[in-house]
Amino acid sequence: MVPPNIAEGDIQRFSIKGRVVEANASDMQELLAHVYETPERPRCLCIPGGVEMYVARHRLFVVKRMPDTGCRHHPSCPSFEPECQQSGLGELVGEAILELVPGQIQLRVDFPWVRTAGRNLVRGEVHGVAEVEAPRRRMSLHALMHFLFERAGFNRWSPAMAGKRNQGVLHKYLMHAAEDVVVKGVGLSDRLYVPEAFNEASKFEAAQRRRNKLAVLRPHEGQSPLAVVIGEFKVCEATTLGRRVWVKHMPDAPLLVGTKTWERIERVFASLFEARDADSGHKVRLVLAALIRARREHTYEIDAASLMLTSEHWIPIEGVHELPLVHALVDQGRRFVKPLRYDARSAAAFPNALLLDAGPLPLPLHVISAFMAPKERTEKERVVRAAGAAPWLWWSTEAMPALPEAVMLRNH
């Protein structure tokens, strides 16, 4: 499967058994079958000498990046990944995100996968403990949303993707990103639902597939399993019993939530709700990640929720101040990565974007908004100073500086 950040013009070249082939070669499956489960590894030829990869098998054989090698690829290579310290990912890798075996990822999360009726968490001293485990960082529902969007490639852009991102693509690649990911011993793809693109002609079949998918929520032996729904928030409406939350492309299945819970969600994420009304000249999307359980048969109730903004191209953003930069990069046909915050307290320590087509190294782009909190602005200014001479910096109160020129992309 080709992720959404890889399209025509981004095809990789590999060395496999002494032969140089493109990723879309007609006999690629046969070649990969010969090296699958052998010590021999393909090499991506994006740099002199290449970068070692490995072969995995899903429905088809695929060539995947070895752990911790993403930054060794050329920035123009589809397998390139910035160093994790350039985003909030760096705080989670090795603790909340574990890849003990290539291609198999375990996530430690701070939310439950099941609720048990009649049981409350007992706090206090625990007796008879034979060992003490060191505390480990766990990722939130918000970080899980960032993890899936990054793993699916939606924080990465190349010109060939223009006009090719829609709900169908979102569904396909977020679900694919959840494969081979385990949370508390459960496959994430078994507990993740992303709405299919709504189609009037096939709405009944799609609804049945949703019911089949969310049948996992049925209580069993006093336990109520939970699942995650990720989709674009549409509207919330009041009812006599609480609120109905509507997600786009799910017009026949609202998510229910108590009035007080929703009011708290509105307070916590007030700036994101307000962003949809901002006079920015650019469309924004508000994406909801809801941890849900079954209140009754086929009735879904929100247990916890998080929200994030994206551009109209589904590129996650921290706020409206980043929209002009993201749109300038898209409109000028640039290749870039948008570093994501995950669970970091602030995104100020990270570049607002990383240009991938300005040379042999990714080039950080920074934005300082007049509405940033003083601590955030101080942190951003410190990061910019530490970057050395002449970093690219845009104060949002001034005209945006010209972007660094793109250089000729090398053949992979």
Sheet with strand 363-368: strands edge to edge: 156-157, 336-337, 353-355, 363-368, 392-395
Q: What average pLDDT does this structure show over 362-377?
A: 94
What residues pair up with 220 in beta bridges, in sequence order? 223
Res 141 pLDDT > 90: yes
Res 123 pLDDT > 80: no
pLDDT of residue 124: 42
Res 33 pLDDT > 60: yes
Res 65 pLDDT > 60: yes
Res 78 pLDDT > 90: no
Q: Share the mean pLDDT of the chain.
A: 90
The two beta strands, 363-368 and 392-395, are parallel
The domain spans of the chain are: 13-81, 321-395
Res 369 pLDDT > 90: yes
**pLDDT tens for residues 233-255?**
999 999 999 999 999 999 999 99
The residue to which tokens 């994101």 are assigned = 272
Res 4 pLDDT > 60: no
> What architecture is the 321-395 domain classified under in CATH?
3-Layer(aba) Sandwich (3.40)
Least reliable range by pLDDT among 111-125, 184-198, 318-332: 111-125
346: number of Cβ within 10 Å? 15
Q: How many Cα atoms occupy the beta-carbon half-sphere of 90 within 13 Å?
A: 12
**pLDDT tens for residues 211-230?**
999 999 999 888 999 999 99
Check the CA dihedral 210-212-217-218 and report its sign: positive
pTM of the model: 0.88
